[in-house]
Chain A
Amino acid sequence: MKGVDMATDLLADGQSASGGTARSGPQTFLDVRDLRIHFPTDDGLVKAVDGLSFSLERGRTLGIVGESGSGKSVTSLGILGLHRQSRAKVSGEVWLDGEELIAASAERVRSLRGQRMSMIFQDPLTAMHPYFSVGAQIVEAYRVHHNVSKKVARQHAIDMLGRVGIPQPAKRVDDYPHQFSGGMRQRAMIAMALVNNPELLIADEPTTALDVTVQAQILDLIRDLQEEFQSAVIMITHDLGVVAELADDILVMYGGKSVEYGAAETIFRRPEHPYAWGLLGSMPRVDREVRERLIPVKGTPPSLINLPSGCAFHPRCPYEGRNGIPCRTQVPTLAEGSDHGVACHIPPADRQRIFSEDIAPAL
């Protein structure tokens, strides 16, 4: 079965590269299909990720957007195989360069982790070990996957720190994380994630803990390094500004599912899901009156144990129930195979009209 897929993959490869949108064939570098990550708890089953599919080519960036608890981080940890089998039920398929990871042995996934796929974590102060020097942590990350002497690895770590813009890397390499500033720590974290030239880089809110000027520097850095290594990058964030700057494609998550998926250009210019409209409205705009700068999405994120029936967004959706559409009863699905998938019951023509007439002028 897989052999056939691979053959068609090769044929389709040229098309998908020129197509440039998210939905390409199964030959893509990273292909996530129907990923489900459920956590059994005392209160019930937490469906943190429920039937997520997306794909990503080398050299391109996918932005995964959504509010806290929408399943963004759980997804990235799932791809890296970092969920404990005793705690999480993971199903679906994750294909990395033709190799399926969910069913693969833990040891196999471990050997890929940090080498072919790696991750930049959100808060570098807690994500780096307080008792080991920055250099030692980078050296360790390199030596797990490369059989080299400590001296060689140390030199490599110094080079890496220099490349991510740490001044005097040969001196700072022996510093501990607490001796670095927030921005420097994030750079060190990036150096650690990139030390093995990973082909897939997942950045989980890499700039949340940083101030705005440093944010821009870090994003530039990730972009430069991506171009250099031709890595595929997944940028997880709730900050649409970050995504606008970096992403080729955007996946909007809500309640563990993807509600809108397409090229970044499309999602920003012609978003069709009411939740995406809400996200765009909640981006602060300096060119507006103070009271109109932010339009929040009303309500709170849904409970992942008892998701609202039908469309999970319906309790917060201003268009719920219009013209008798079955928002409360039927779960909308993301149309497969199109360049722009929207999981919404409102007919496409209506959605486009609502956006251009009601939403866009207010944005």
Chain B
Amino acid sequence: MINFILRRVVTSVVLLIIISMVTFGVFFMVPKLAGTNPAELYVGKSATPADVAATARKLGLDKPIYVQYGEFMKGLVAGREYDNGPDKTHCAAPCFGYSFRNDRPVWPLLLDRLPVTISLTVGAAIIWLLGGVLAGVISALRRGSVLDRIVMVVALAGVSLPIYFTGLLAQLFFVHNLHWFKGGEYVNFADDPFGWANKLFLGWVTLALLYAATYARLTRAQMLETVSEDYIRTARAKGLRERVVVGKHAMRSVLTPIVTIFGLDLGAALGGAILTESVFSLPGIGRLSIDAVNTKDLPVVLGVTLFGAMFIVLANFLVDIVYAVIDPRVRLS
């Protein structure tokens, strides 16, 4: 087990390094190949060539790409000093770069936005996991019934309808027409828990609907497959009550793949639920990334991308560990 975990840690770190190389290459080399000088993006339209050169020097953009990458990685670990003679800017570790649009290092920007994204994602994840699995199980056990059909139609609608449709519709009905929820600014949980939940609720449900639909379908399919397994027949042959047969023996098998995709989905969503955050004007990582793209704020785009990748790799790592715990057959291989 220790070996297994160590192997996974090493793979995850290697993976992150490769992702950082590719991302860095894309954001810093491609503009160069396209004939754009990244430094020009930072200095504004009326800057003189001397200003551009100074900025390039300060950010290290005049150096070869591998040196730049080396400095970036060093900054991640040890922090970094952007230095051009008297013009010094400090960026503490982990330094994901410096956003000159916001005049702040990228890392604190990410940290500011993180609680919003976590609030949105974790809340939605709880709803989609419980709702999706429950709907799937009921649907499978009542296969062919009216209830089954309703659940599956809702699930189909859920996966098919984009968030900018369901989200806007939900806001129109529940905020503007019915006034069940307040619009307005996001508030911190610590400041006003009810206001926080009020602001997030529609976002939770909208985001959850998208995922819950997938989970319901997956759970249903998995449950239908599992109940025809030989070991379920064995469980019945032992004289176990149907509640135990389904609730323990079947659910154990159904939940295994669910846990896997749940980990991956949660990781991906934490990297920024861009659409949901945009539609519900939640200042999370997703909003940060879309704003950064719009303003060509390359260090932020790079930071958000790496941050998202980190969540996905971390989620993968945790899923592997959890899988080894819940599926005894994994440990051997």
Asked if A and B are interacting partners, one says yes
The chain A residues found within 8 Å of chain B, CB to CB, are 77, 80, 82, 110-115, 118-119, 121, 123, 126-133, 140-141, 144-145, 176, 178-179, 192
A119 and B237 within 8 A (CB): yes
Partner of B329, one of A112, A128, A176: A176
- Alpha-carbon separation in the docked complex, A178 to B229 (Å): 16
A127 and B231 within 8 A (CB): yes
B234 and A115 within 8 A (CB): no
Smallest distance from the beta carbon of B236 to chain A beta carbons, Å?
6
Partner of B237, one of A82, A123, A176: A82
B329 and A178 within 8 A (CB): yes
Q: Which residues of chain B come closer than 8 Å to A112, judged between CB atoms? A: 239
B252 and A129 within 8 A (CB): yes
> 8 additional contacts, CB 8 Å, given A114-B240, A131-B328?
A82-B236, A110-B241, A111-B239, A121-B233, A127-B231, A128-B231, A176-B329, A179-B332
* A–B complex contacts, Cβ < 8 Å, 28 sampled: A80-B237, A82-B233, A111-B239, A113-B236, A113-B239, A114-B237, A114-B240, A115-B239, A118-B237, A118-B238, A121-B230, A127-B230, A129-B231, A129-B234, A129-B235, A129-B249, A129-B253, A130-B327, A131-B252, A131-B256, A132-B249, A132-B252, A133-B328, A141-B239, A144-B239, A144-B241, A176-B328, A192-B234
- Alpha-carbon separation in the docked complex, A144 to B241 (Å): 9
Q: Which residues of chain B come closer than 8 Å to A178, judged between CB atoms? A: 328-329, 332
Which applies to chain A's interface (DSSP): helix, strand, loop or mixed? Answer: mixed
Partner of B326, one of A80, A115, A131: A131
Which applies to chain B's interface (DSSP): helix, strand, loop or mixed? Answer: helix
- Alpha-carbon separation in the docked complex, A118 to B234 (Å): 10
B239 and A114 within 8 A (CB): yes
Q: Which residue of A lies closest to B331 (CB)?
A: A176
Encode B40-73 as 1/0 by CB contact (under 8 A) with A.
0000000000000000000000000000000000
- Considering only residues 237-261 of chain B, those with a C-beta below 8 Å from chain A are 237-241, 249, 252-253, 256
Q: Which residues of chain A come closer than 8 Å to B229, judged between CB atoms? A: 126
Q: Which residues of chain A come closer than 8 Å to B236, judged between CB atoms? A: 82, 113
The chain B residues found within 8 Å of chain A, CB to CB, are 229-231, 233-241, 249, 252-253, 256, 326-329, 332
- Alpha-carbon separation in the docked complex, A72 to B252 (Å): 31
Q: Which residues of chain A come closer than 8 Å to B241, judged between CB atoms? A: 110, 144
Q: Which residues of chain A come closer than 8 Å to B240, judged between CB atoms? A: 114, 140, 144
A110 and B239 within 8 A (CB): yes
Knowing A144-B239, A144-B240, say if A123 contacts B327 (CB, 8 Å): no
- Alpha-carbon separation in the docked complex, A146 to B33 (Å): 76
Q: Which residues of chain A come closer than 8 Å to B231, judged between CB atoms? A: 126-130
Smallest distance from the beta carbon of A75 to chain B beta carbons, Å?
14
- Alpha-carbon separation in the docked complex, A121 to B239 (Å): 15
A141 and B233 within 8 A (CB): no
Number of A-B contacts (CB under 8 A): 72
- Alpha-carbon separation in the docked complex, A141 to B249 (Å): 13
Q: Which residues of chain B come closer than 8 Å to A131, judged between CB atoms? A: 252-253, 256, 326-328
- Alpha-carbon separation in the docked complex, A112 to B238 (Å): 9
- Alpha-carbon separation in the docked complex, A104 to B62 (Å): 87
Smallest distance from the beta carbon of B96 to chain A beta carbons, Å?
41
B328 and A141 within 8 A (CB): no
Knowing A126-B229, A126-B230, A178-B329, say if A141 contacts B238 (CB, 8 Å): yes
- Alpha-carbon separation in the docked complex, A276 to B233 (Å): 31
Knowing A126-B230, A131-B327, say if A113 contacts B256 (CB, 8 Å): no
Smallest distance from the beta carbon of B258 to chain A beta carbons, Å?
14
| Most-contacted residue by chain A among B233, B234, B236, B332 (CB, 10 A) | B234
B327 and A128 within 8 A (CB): no
Q: Which residues of chain B come closer than 8 Å to A132, judged between CB atoms? A: 249, 252
Partner of B230, one of A80, A123, A145, A192: A123
Q: Which residue of A lies closest to B329 (CB)?
A: A178
A128 and B326 within 8 A (CB): no
Q: Which residue of A lies closest to B255 (CB)?
A: A131
Knowing A121-B233, A130-B231, A131-B327, say if A144 contacts B238 (CB, 8 Å): yes
Closest 10 pairs (CB-CB, A-B): A114-B239, A126-B230, A113-B239, A114-B238, A129-B231, A141-B238, A127-B230, A176-B328, A127-B234, A119-B237
Q: Which residue of B lies closest to A141 (CB)?
A: B238
Smallest distance from the beta carbon of A87 to chain B beta carbons, Å?
11
B237 and A113 within 8 A (CB): yes
Q: Which residue of B lies closest to A116 (CB)?
A: B239
- Alpha-carbon separation in the docked complex, A144 to B236 (Å): 11
Q: Which residue of A lies closest to B235 (CB)?
A: A129
Q: Which residues of chain B come closer than 8 Å to A133, judged between CB atoms? A: 328
| Most-contacted residue by chain B among A82, A126, A131, A133 (CB, 10 A) | A131
Q: Which residues of chain B come closer than 8 Å to A192, judged between CB atoms? A: 234, 238
- Alpha-carbon separation in the docked complex, A130 to B249 (Å): 10
- Alpha-carbon separation in the docked complex, A118 to B233 (Å): 12
